[in-house]
Structure 1
Amino acid sequence: MKTTVVAVINQKGGTGKTTTTINLGSALSKLGKKVLLLDLDPQSNLSYSLAVSGTDATLADVFLGSKKLQDILVEKDGLWIAPGSNDLVDIEISLVSQPDRENFLKTILSELKGYDYVLIDCPPSLSVLTLNALTAAQEVLVPLQMEVLTLQGLDQIMNTVQKVKKAFNPKLKIKGIVVVMFDIRRKLSLEVLEYLRENLKEKIFSSHIRLNVKLAEAPSFGKSVIDYDGSSNGAKDYKALAEEFVRA
């Protein structure tokens, strides 16, 4: 079984990155795929949202070499999760001075077998941890709100991906852009989407993630929106995205 490693990145916080990692992962698992979610963000929002925070061992321990990745995995609702923690801040600081610092996560994941997809929830910055994710991944997924300021951020992401591709990971490619928190009633949302379609060569997934209160509620119950309310618009949108994602 070939494992596809996908880095989910956006250097801004609050852009639907963690929400997309969790719910795309959940939707893929419902399609019969074996999915591992990696919480590489020191804020560990993914772990909290799936009620697996506060575990004895986290990704920080794996980076330190005191645990194997397999030792820290938690299974929840058909997903496998590698929890994050605030200790990743210290890992990030220590990595800066390490030789070959961009390859730590790639080495960690090289032991992994039996998964269809590994989705990495990256920190909301273009940091050493994000660099590790991009070096370990084959594909990049970018959740994007349809706001004017996101266009500037998108340029930074594209430039970073190209630099990583050139320096560390020639096989890295942009899987696509996921339109999130989409409100069809807003003229600006439609204008930004039209601009992206006209000016980007990268794929923009046709499955848009609409604004949906159930998406905001689900983390309070430690569930993906699909397990929390499978009939909601949020669940429908991520299921549609997963089907499109597998075909892309």
Structure 2
Amino acid sequence: MATTIVSVINQKGGTGKTTTTINLGRALSKLGHKVLLVDLDPQGNLSYSLDISEPKFTLADAFTGTKKLKEILIQKGELFFVAPGSSELVDVEISLVTQEKRENFLKNILSGIKGFDYVLIDCPPSLSVLTLNALTASHQVLIPLQMEVLTMQGLNQILNTVGKIKTTLNPKLQVKGIVIVMYDKRRKLSSEVEAFLQENVNEKIFKSRIRLNVKLAEAPSFGQSILDYDPSSNGAQDYLALAKEFTA
């Protein structure tokens, strides 16, 4: 199969974006797909969560051209690879502002990578030059969403951004869907927001729900995905179900 590049995006922090990138990616690899995670967030939370704290080379080296992407990759499991991020991406972002075709750098970097079925990009929690790079390079967008009062406002901003990118920079960009995260069916608000989404959003909403799960919160402390940390947990089962639905 051809490589599918997916931006995992939410312009609000703390929405389960990094958790979804890691665990959906690992679940896809468990299903036999070769997966690359790209840590595009200067905070480097994805890399840290997979016990990559001081990599020799990072994505910043690929942006500056001192290393090719394949030279910075770290294998973290069978069929499971990471392009680590770092705080140096802040400097990369500043330098990109003055570059011509600054939104195409990541697209060019990823064009040199072969053999992966899925590339999942963990985007910064803002509409930055780095996020524009991710959206320009991607075929699809996946949106993790909490069932909170401000959910619709944030979702509308994301969909508007994707629409603008589609019309100006990347006509092939599609919304793969919305995945409901940190879900607690006992909360009335969760069901109310979900019902509102079903009635008012045209984009696909995945049937798989990522339930609130203590083990999901613990896994990064041990530098592992939830599927490696506790395969029997609700979190592991939920992300495996999402991966199956994602590839259906």
> Could you state the TM-score of these two structures normalised by the residue count of structure 1?
0.99
Q: Which residue of 1 aligns with 2:125?
A: 124
Give CA-to-partner distance per residue, 1:117-145, whole Å, 9 cap, x none: 00000001011000000000000000000
Residue 160 of structure 1: how far off its partner (Å): 0.4
Q: Which runs of 5+ in 2 are unaligned?
A: none
Q: Which residue of 2 aligns with 1:239?
A: 240
- SS of residue matched to 2:12: coil
Give CA-to-partner distance per residue, 1:154-201, whole Å, 9 cap, x none: 111000000000001000000000000000000001000000000001
1:124 & 1:31 partners in 2: Cα distance?
Answer: 29
- 1:204-223 map, 5 Å: 204-223=205-224
Q: Which residue of 2 aligns with 1:11?
A: 11
1:212 & 1:18 partners in 2: Cα distance?
Answer: 15
2:85 & 2:223 partners in 1: Cα distance?
Answer: 15
Q: Which residue of 2 aligns with 1:42?
A: 42
Letter of the structure 1 residue corresponding to residue 50 of structure 2:
L
1:77 & 1:221 partners in 2: Cα distance?
Answer: 15
Q: Once superposed, which parts of structure 1, at least 4 consecutive aligned residues long, lie more than 2 Å away?
A: none
* Residues 165 and 171 in structure 1, CA contact (< 8 A), matched pair in contact too: yes
- 1:44-83 map, 5 Å: 44-78=44-78, 79-83=80-84
1:178 & 1:147 partners in 2: Cα distance?
Answer: 14
Letter of the structure 2 residue corresponding to residue 64 of structure 1:
T
1:201 & 1:229 partners in 2: Cα distance?
Answer: 35
- 1:118-197 map, 5 Å: 118-197=119-198
- CA RMSD in angstroms, aligned pairs only: 0.5
1:73 & 1:149 partners in 2: Cα distance?
Answer: 37
Give CA-to-partner distance per residue, 1:3-48, whole Å, 9 cap, x none: 0000000011110000000000000000000000000000000000
Number of residue pairs aligned between Structure 1 and Structure 2? 247
Residue 148 of structure 1: how far off its partner (Å): 1.1
> Could you state the TM-score of these two structures normalised by the residue count of structure 2?
0.99
1:195 & 1:92 partners in 2: Cα distance?
Answer: 37
- SS of residue matched to 2:41: coil
1:181 & 1:72 partners in 2: Cα distance?
Answer: 32
Identity within the alignment, %? 72
Letter of the structure 2 residue corresponding to residue 211 of structure 1:
L
1:150 & 1:101 partners in 2: Cα distance?
Answer: 30
1:7 & 1:67 partners in 2: Cα distance?
Answer: 23
Residue 150 of structure 1: how far off its partner (Å): 1.8
